Structure 1
């Protein structure tokens, strides 16, 4: 027969003041034990010499000495505790850890509970659970996996375990509740409702995970958009710097040439003036010499000599300076320089605009999508090619076509199988040889059965050609377009988030028109209307063309 362990417990060796194992234990005359330092400090801070345990009042403070017997017992207890700690190191997994339910009976170190009793409202470790497994009275108690807050699992009204679930009131109930308060209600066992809720939770979890995944994908899309934006910004900056640098260099060259012209003209004037001055000084010198000769002759009293020197009477031959002047003209120099600069910049600007338009076309063409016309949306009088890339008006209404909700009944139009609800997309349509066509996009919910205007207010973003040369954007209000030469191929670009729909003349790389400030909240479909047949004058089809192929 196994011997029971009746050794002293830890509580017997705890000082009631410091609540720790005794250190130098002493005994008071009333028979209670304390650490010698604890009791002395207690009395030192108190006006009376009272026992902390029984409040026995000692008139004079007792002379306390260390109780050697208890001291030895404490030493043995410490050694035993150390041995138990070392022997239990192999079973540390049973000790209660954060998040685990501890045993309610264990003192000192709390061991992890193995079961909880709904009758006793307590949790037990393997050792303290033994009575519930061996004693006949306790065997009838309801045990369950260890849980905290056992009081919350009891019916507050009948003090019985909450074992059932009332579907009518969506609450947990006990057996008495079903008889008294929830009579005739739809009541099922907790486990049954638990299984249903688990299935529902798994479904919810899957939906939440799907939502999380979609948002993670959206985050990646946004990050990718930011990266693309940075690339576009860098490219635009580089192109802008190159263009403006070239412009500034042209202006600087024009300024240098202008200043050089002025300086050269000034230098020529200066040299001319210096030549005139030298010539005038030479004439002055000759005239002064002649003047001296004349003056000398006038003083002569020799009649013969004076008359024989008659040639000295006249001034020496000189230039007629009356019409000669140094007056350079700078008038018109600045105008001519600026005019020449304007001509230079104009040529450069035309070249740059042509290059920029080509760059812009290439930029939008990066978002090209492959489209196929959807026969389920086509008006009965339209004829589609087998590959779904061409559409024209047949002038004869097809019979026996189902009037499904997607099909247009009034406008001679057709949509594509593809739709778009985010991002950017681009496609090109050959319109060569046609005198009438409508192109653009529309939202999914447009009315396809009634006569309505093809305007943004009604969900359409369209441009058209009628009468062979009249182009118009069906905006609010409509805008007449100035198209110098009819495009042979039209490109359509949509930026869903920015709310922009743009139309391009592909071969000229020129923007025809842009709808801006649009608010898109649902799917967009590319829209094609080849126009009426007009006795063969408009028989050419609209053709979805591969992007980049002219």
Structure 2
């Protein structure tokens, strides 16, 4: 810290008094008045004009020549004060920057507490929604069992299997909700502890900043009093790290929902070439889509994600429940969901399209996943291979599942559909030299073929 001072005017007693290094401007009367009392050494009665950086004391020339300071770095009081003032101002600038960061982090931690509470509530509602829909399925299937007992897998047998699953699912749901509450409580405690630490840090930053501001405005002699102490306090605070609380994602609580029984209702979905974007190439069986290998011309340094490369299904759903699965392993950025008209009472020429989507996109090495509407971030495994979608038209239900893990990703309840609903598939138009992505719709298993007429 003091190396720079050695390049300035430094005084050492081993040099003769006549040496040019002893030459400096005579302090002005105003500066002399800044020195404590009459500015004279209490021992030698000489003016105090020097400062010893090692001992942090002011000296007269006679004190300077004593053996106690023979190897010490000594300079003019005004020069020492200016050096300390510059150091204080540099630390003060950084402290104020950290103060603003700490305030932002405190606000973020408070917001995260509310988000955790909201997320717990959302998960509980999604679990309850899954149970309600499963109960409705069982009810409808039991009604069917009274009308139709034909097929390899009878309605009655399917209803009994679902009823058995429903009882287990309700029990599992209660355990999952309990885990969610416990995990939410732990997260909130961590965030509140972080808030306390950040509040203390803000208080310390404000206090030491005020001290350094006051020191910078003091006279040279007063500023040098305890200068090293204030410098050390400021520097030690700078070395303390600001960290947000590390919490556990609530999505780690495995919510299976109906994922284990939806295979029975899986249906084949085909892509409609009339709705395909020109960037897309569809397979002959209309079950796969990929982007053309040609590089897209986009603005330089563009980071925008363009999901305009979409295609809809041939199938249109106006009632009932429907389940389909999509292979996403060969796509880094994609959108899956449904689209439908906004209002049947509107003029068709003015009606606009609504979408309910699950989106995953990759920016460099950062993978993020969102649902819409409203736009909300969700947690998904980076290596997820297959996504399942379940639509229950009459109840306005759309659920997304991680088929690989057999768990619920997110579900939407109480959606209002006007007219036909069509499955939606979209890929992100590649930016630069990225490899073209592809999606494939999975064919239903043999057991599903027996219940496609539901």
TM, length-normalised to structure 2: 0.39
Structure with greater contact order relative to length (CA < 8 Å, sep ≥ 6): 2
Larger Rg: 1
